[in-house]
Structure 1
Amino acid sequence: MRPLLALLCLLGLVACSAAPADTPAPSPVAATPQAPVTPLWVDVPSIDARSTLVQLGLNADRTVEVPPVDKPMQAGWYRNSPAPGENGPAIVLGHVDGNDQQGIFWRLREVKSGDRVEIGRADGSVVAFEVYKVEQLPKASFPTDEVYGDTERPEIRLITCGGEFDHAENSYLDNILVYGKLAT
């Protein structure tokens, strides 16, 4: 009698712990996150700057690649940064000039807080950012952590050269940096 009683108690516990038949199963957790949506174009209406985006990586010396200087109106997205709309700073680079022509970011220094930056993405969506800071700094003082470091929200960084041109080095001495947060 005792083994039968133990078996009945065990079956009762199992039956009590099972979910009723009409209770929906919990939703499965996604095993993999969705891939980021590739950015296709950038538009900064306040300075009439609009360009498609090429993907940029790293040079052999581990510096960030820039768009082709012989195509100064071409901007690029640093593909090792978050895609625009993801948490973190999406990095967009463009030339101030090149090939004896003005570049896509020729007027970037004119951008002001509150200006809008829009990024068109491969899924047809547009992500809008509001500029909250613009600065010109010597390249020797480039704020790497502030530009490339993690953020808790989607942000954007627009980067170009600026300031005085050093003919001996064939390079500008400064960078123009634009910081934007996701527009609400």
Structure 2
Amino acid sequence: MTEQQKAPTPTQRALPGLLIAGSLGGVGLVMVTLLSFAPTVDDGSGSLTAAAAPQEAPTPVQMENAGAFVLSPTVGPGGKDVPLTPARLEAPPPLAAVPTVPPIPKAQVKTGRAKPTRIKIPKIKVNAVVGTVAMDSKGKLGTPPLSKAGRTGWFTGSPVPGEIGPAIINGHVSTRKGPAVFDRLRELAKGDQIYVYRSDGKVTRFTVSGIEQASKTAFPSARVYGNTKDAQLRLITCGGVFNQKAHSYTDNIVVYATLSKKKG
């Protein structure tokens, strides 16, 4: 056997494989480098055990929350057992459900300005005294005393109910002792009636035009407190999840209503 015909050494025999491996290793390094610049993607994959387990149907709460981040262009009509969703911040107040009537001219009584004294909402069996609340130095609207869970509060910086503009009345949804005056406020729906009695003897009738649940961190101030061309009413209470540490709810329930003729 000549030198040219000598058997290849172990190194020579392994060289082709090393070259191929080196090439693949180089490709692999390039792929790893490219992927390192790509955003991570959550494809929903989990453990094999979890993947093999049968998937449960979504609960009603999950279904309700599924569209929580898609804001509606308008305030919804509301209704019992209907999930309330927030509207876009720039959305206007909902349109009146029934024909409206002209606002009541400003009335004076012996004590000066007329004020609301009682509110009745037949649909949810509310018949409550209306006190007064004001805004503090930090711009936060006050509420009725927790010791008087059945009382509501009229914001004195807003119009008297029946006069032009949005009159504001709030109340608690609950206290540590149990449900409060506006516990069932979320059940109201477009077309329901609200009656506000005034110190000048007038009884104003409002018809609900819409209702929403909005986060307190994204409260629709312009829609709630903004000027209107007719007489409107806003009822406000708490909603959402109760924070035990802060002793407060995450959201607000807001009812929109307009001074109107009796439905029907």
TM-score, structure 1 normalization: 0.79
Structure 1 residue aligned with 2:119: 42
Deviations 1:24-66 (A, max 9, x none): xxxxxxxxx6545211011111000111111111223221111
| 1:1-184 matched pairs, under 5 angstroms | 34-35=107-108, 36-184=113-261
The runs of at least 4 consecutive aligned structure 1 residues that moved more than 6 Å come to none
CA distance in structure 2 between the aligned counterparts of 1:57 and 1:127, rounded to whole angstroms: 22
How many residue pairs were aligned? 152
Q: Which has the larger radius of gyration?
A: 2
Structure 1 residue aligned with 2:32: none
CA distance in structure 2 between the aligned counterparts of 1:121 and 1:92, rounded to whole angstroms: 13
CA distance in structure 1 between the aligned counterparts of 2:131 and 2:246, rounded to whole angstroms: 26
Which structure shows the higher strand fraction? 1
Structure 2 residue aligned with 1:7: none
CA distance in structure 1 between the aligned counterparts of 2:216 and 2:139, rounded to whole angstroms: 16
TM-superposed deviation, 1:138:
0.9
Structure 2 residue aligned with 1:15: none
- RMSD across aligned positions (CA): 1.2
TM-score, structure 2 normalization: 0.56
Unaligned runs of 5+ in 2: 1-105
CA distance in structure 1 between the aligned counterparts of 2:179 and 2:126, rounded to whole angstroms: 11
Give the AA of the match of 1:154: A
TM-superposed deviation, 1:99:
3.4
TM-superposed deviation, 1:100:
1.9
Do 1:38 and 1:121's aligned partners in 2 also have CA atoms closer than 8 Å?
Answer: yes
TM-superposed deviation, 1:166:
1.2
Unaligned runs of 5+ in 1: 1-32
Do 2:196 and 2:203's aligned partners in 1 also have CA atoms closer than 8 Å?
Answer: yes
